[in-house]
Structure 1
Amino acid sequence: MSFELDLLLRGADVYTMDPSRPRARTLGVWHGRVVGLDEQVAGLEAARTVDLTGATVLPGFHDAHVHTTSYGVAATQLELSDAGSTAEILERVARHAEGLSDGAWVIGVGYLDRSAPGRHPTCAELDRAGGGRPVWLTHRSGHMCAVSSAVLRLLPDPLPAGAVGYVHRDDAGAPTGLLEEAAMELVKEVVGPGSVAQMVAAIDVATAQYVTEGTTSITEAGIGCPGVDHSPLEIAAWQAAARSGQARTRAHLMVYNELFHDLPHHPDDPGRFGLDLGLHTGMGDDRVRVSAMKVWLDGAGTAGHAATGDDDSELVDDPVRLHRHVVEAHRSGWQVAAHAMGDRAVDVLLDALEAAGPTEEVRRRRHRVEHGGLIRPDQVPRLRRLGVVVAIQPVFIGEFGDALAEHFGAERVDWSIRAASLIDAGVVVAGSSDRPVAPGAPLLGVQAMLERRTASASTYGAEERLDVLTALRCWTRDAAYAAGVEHEVGTLASRRLADLVVLDADPTAVATTAIADIGVRATLVGGQAVHDPEALFGPAPSQTPTQEQP
């Protein structure tokens, strides 16, 4: 009986991202995995052969830092990212509120304070626009919100000590309606959580968009957080979405550190901090997997809350408690992913990792800096020595670069959202979007890594520009490495999962300004087309996904 492949791709320009064999023209797939390239599959028959002459094939993109349920839930809420002024925001709130029942929440997302520096809608304005309803508008940064008086009345009285400083007040001491960081979390606790069904629907909406852009796997940057876009049952939601086919991408789930707690343990057990039953990084399968512990060390750089210099005031918590969470999570088997916009926050992480245990064990865990808004030159050798990965969001440069430059100072822009200097020093850099905070298409992120231009057309750290192939590697092989799955995805080689994207042009052969406009002709996960508008791969095999809920 002759051996038959499931799928054979011919005539494509294949960039494998495998340094031992960087290019190919033919690729074979069997049982969801790549079985060989070119001569390795020569002479083999296939159930389906597809001629991709003129197309470019890459490993599927991996977005190393994204908020899928937040993005999916936002699709059902009032979208404000394109509102050009505070007046327009208020007009949209009023129109949206007219269609709601009395007492229903008006929830809007993505607004920017464009009218003037620091000009946010006030609670009095939102009272009028919302007709007295609870109004909650989340800023584009995700680290602040504007609320109406009805929402302020729902907050605990007195406020927790850690939230008091994040409630903005006018000259008379009255709340303006602008809340940040810990105070914003109080609103999320009042309005949330979402249901498992809502989370599954959000995953469906979000991942349906991801695959149109060539994304085949993601790292979800914080599950179990407060708010309507999260749930204490969020892992169950991802499992349900995977079973039903509504999670179109593979997912690696970071768990919010506030869910962690001390565990009863035997004196001989190193793991005494984490989730019940000792669950830690790596639990799951190739569709849904538990990833890192996500810990916020500081706030948003665009809001001026990146922890910089020697000042601990912008850290989100007591530095001693943050230090302990990092150390104990490492010792309990967790990878740690630390939101660190400022260099002081990076110091907190590095100091904790140096205290956590033997350097080789720290290196094996591949702990992560999320964002790396500001990394000093003296921190780069420490990152390399400890094996810390830096997950950057290059589209931030175009979206927020001017604000970040103002906050950090022009003299420190070269240390901000670093890429080339980190890679040259031996630090792995993973590409990501932080969607919905910024646009999420990977090719847009690749272009931003090459251009590094702000909205005002200023160059943002010219020496940190990358070449095309290096940028593509950040979004494929190196993003997979950051998730600890480079042996499964991120390269196209024998025995790897057949996750790939078919592009209608070669990113290395077009003008830099045209990379983001390259079309995605098809996206495959496990050798099956999950995005195929041209029907290149024909009808999908008959499948009957299970629909049961946990």
Structure 2
Amino acid sequence: MDGTEPEAFAAQDGRIIAVGSRRGLYARFRSAERIDLDGALVVPGFNDAHSHVSQAALARVRVDLAGVTDAEELRRMMSERAALVGEDDWVLGHAFDERNPGLGGIDRRFLDGVSATRPLVLIHYSFHKAVGNSRALEMMGYRSAQDAPAGGELMTDADGRLDGWMYERAWLDPWLPGLQGTSVASPGEMGAQVAALRAVNDEMHAVGITSYCDAIVTAVEQDMYAAALADNVLTPRVNMLQWYSCFDETAEPPSFGTPDRLRLAGVKMMLDGALSGGTCLCQRPYQSATGSDNGLQILGDEEFAATVRRVHGAGQRVAVHANGDAAVDKVLQVYESLPPPAGHRMNHRIEHCSMVDDSLIARMKSIGVTPVLFGAFIHFHGQEISSFYGPDWSRMICAHKSLLTAGVEVAGSSDYPLVPADPLMAVQSMVTRRSSEGLLLGPEQQLSVSEALGVYTVGSAHATGEGHIKGRLTVGRLADFVVLDQDLIAMEPSEIGTAGIRSTWVGAECVWRNS
């Protein structure tokens, strides 16, 4: 990823110490162990700059609804877990997807039929909403739609009664109360958490991921990662974004002893809703999923600005979820008002940054903001994006090309488990700009294969301030790499996602092999 194509490289103590020809390195390091990759294509390890691996792991400790498409199967799974817990113990189902025909219409009334005595909640796969039974609503203090906090909504049925659905802060605040209280979501036994995390990490390695940034971390998730590190089973390199309600500027940032394996990368905030869910905060009106002519603003302007300034003043990176162009504008206004950090340029981020125009891009370039764009959302959600925002407006959604052309460093992300973590499918999506149904959105934003690989390697390393140690296979950097079974540049662009991973390496150690 520096413009050269060496035949070989040498690694020692997990870092690259030389690159060049095979013959030259054999002569230079006569006693070294030699690993022949049989002419395969080697690229830097893929780095997912915004994912939710910890939530995917915790889902497996709770009630994992991924792949469940039948209401009666869901009823059975939730009933069995409810029978094992006390009356005040929460039963949470993860990754509920009401788009499945067999799960349509599930609401408070359905969940009351599962249990009237235990609090039940189904967390939507997007995390932006959830649905609970009457007991759950009661324990959260929700009796009517007027009880929703600012930045959240409680939905009602035709009679005006709460139907159990909670949007944005109406769900996020009970789930992620931070320093203000205790989450409704119990993490379960630590051994089970670590075992689930190991399984998910193996799946990340299987698609070539060597590093990722977990975009919502509280003390629960942080403890899980720390336990995996202590047990020597944390095989990928992990950055964490601390949820803003957990941030305490008077406390020392946590240190885990091995910063190239586990570290805190900044503080996460959320300003608007979901791109594919149709709740973005936009400059122009549209028919959003909330039933109004726009999406949701989750944090008020004053609270948002004050929190950003606190985090910035403490020398921490800020990472703000902002999808719509109105939300991106609000983030930039606050970033532009910040005093320069002492001694260095703070690399603040905008998570997703889905809708931009030339003026927003110029402002990002001017102050050094890193946008962390969805990699594969055009492939997986192109049809929904076009339906919500229209084909013309959608041309500049996930504007990788315009940002790179302007000289903005762009990071790649999946938002896993909202969509599969597969970076090769993300590369295909960035190169083709076609949805899984074949819909073409904004061909002028198509990238070359090399540019797309750069987003998921060089760009993602920049997003966490690690460009000096990750993203390229050059001397001094970490020996994290992926061995592919095909030359991506020679492939038909629409087939890039079918390329296979032969093996994945972290610090020159093989962490996954296709056997």
TM-score (norm 2): 0.88
- Structure 1, gaps ≥5 residues long: 1-16, 225-231, 262-273, 535-550
Please tell me the residue identity of whatever aligns with 1:441. D
SS at match of 2:98: coil
Equivalence for 1:480: 461
Please tell me the residue identity of whatever aligns with 1:18. D
Please tell me the residue identity of whatever aligns with 1:215. I
CA–CA separation in structure 2 for the residues paired with 1:498 and 1:121: 48
TM-aligned CA distance change 1:257 to 1:100, over 3 Å: closer
Please tell me the residue identity of whatever aligns with 1:218. Y
SS at match of 2:198: helix
> How far off is 1:515 after superposition?
1.5
Deviates more, 1:39-48 or 1:484-493: 39-48
CA–CA separation in structure 2 for the residues paired with 1:362 and 1:337: 20
**Which one of the candidate residues 466, 480, 504 is aligned to 1:523?**
504
> How far off is 1:194 after superposition?
4.8
1:439 matches 2:420 = yes
> How far off is 1:114 after superposition?
2.5
1:25 matches 2:28 = no
Matched ranges for 1:276-287 at <5 A: 276-277=251-252, 279=253, 285-287=259-261
Asked if the contact 1:293–1:329 (Cα under 8 Å) also holds between the matched residues in 2, the reply is yes
CA–CA separation in structure 1 for the residues paired with 2:344 and 2:362: 13
CA–CA separation in structure 2 for the residues paired with 1:256 and 1:294: 5
Render the CA deviation track for 1:104-144: whole Å, top value 9, x for unaligned: 4553332333268x954111122224576533222222201
Equivalence for 2:339: 357
Asked if the contact 1:356–1:362 (Cα under 8 Å) also holds between the matched residues in 2, the reply is no
TM-aligned CA distance change 1:282 to 1:361, over 3 Å: farther
Please tell me the residue identity of whatever aligns with 1:190. V
Deviates more, 1:428-437 or 1:325-334: 325-334
**Which one of the candidate residues 55, 72, 81 is aligned to 2:57?**
72
Equivalence for 2:213: 219
Percent same amino acid at aligned positions? 29
CA–CA separation in structure 1 for the residues paired with 2:215 and 2:238: 10
CA–CA separation in structure 1 for the residues paired with 2:327 and 2:257: 28
> How far off is 1:81 after superposition?
4.6
CA–CA separation in structure 2 for the residues paired with 1:416 and 1:518: 26
**Which one of the candidate residues 163, 176, 179 is aligned to 2:166?**
179
> How far off is 1:52 after superposition?
1.3
1:134 matches 2:119 = yes
**Alignment root-mean-square deviation, CA:** 2.7
Deviates more, 1:24-33 or 1:93-102: 93-102
> How far off is 1:197 after superposition?
4.1
**Which one of the candidate residues 267, 272, 289 is aligned to 1:293?**
267
Asked if the contact 1:106–1:130 (Cα under 8 Å) also holds between the matched residues in 2, the reply is no
Deviates more, 1:107-116 or 1:414-423: 107-116
SS at match of 1:392: strand
CA–CA separation in structure 2 for the residues paired with 1:108 and 1:166: 20
> How far off is 1:424 after superposition?
0.5
CA–CA separation in structure 1 for the residues paired with 2:498 and 2:441: 22
SS at match of 2:395: helix
Equivalence for 1:317: 299
Equivalence for 1:167: 154
- Structure 2, gaps ≥5 residues long: 176-182, 286-293
Please tell me the residue identity of whatever aligns with 2:325. D
Please tell me the residue identity of whatever aligns with 1:424. T
TM-aligned CA distance change 1:402 to 1:364, over 3 Å: same
CA–CA separation in structure 2 for the residues paired with 1:70 and 1:526: 26
CA–CA separation in structure 1 for the residues paired with 2:371 and 2:105: 32
> How far off is 1:42 after superposition?
4.2
Asked if the contact 1:141–1:302 (Cα under 8 Å) also holds between the matched residues in 2, the reply is no
CA–CA separation in structure 1 for the residues paired with 2:383 and 2:270: 23
> How far off is 1:35 after superposition?
1.0
How many residues are paired up? 490
> How far off is 1:29 after superposition?
1.1
TM-aligned CA distance change 1:83 to 1:313, over 3 Å: closer
**Which one of the candidate residues 417, 430, 441 is aligned to 1:449?**
430
Please tell me the residue identity of whatever aligns with 1:292. G
TM-aligned CA distance change 1:164 to 1:344, over 3 Å: closer
Render the CA deviation track for 1:127-179: whole Å, top value 9, x for unaligned: 22457653322222220112222222221257865269511012322111111
1:469 matches 2:450 = yes
Please tell me the residue identity of whatever aligns with 2:273. G
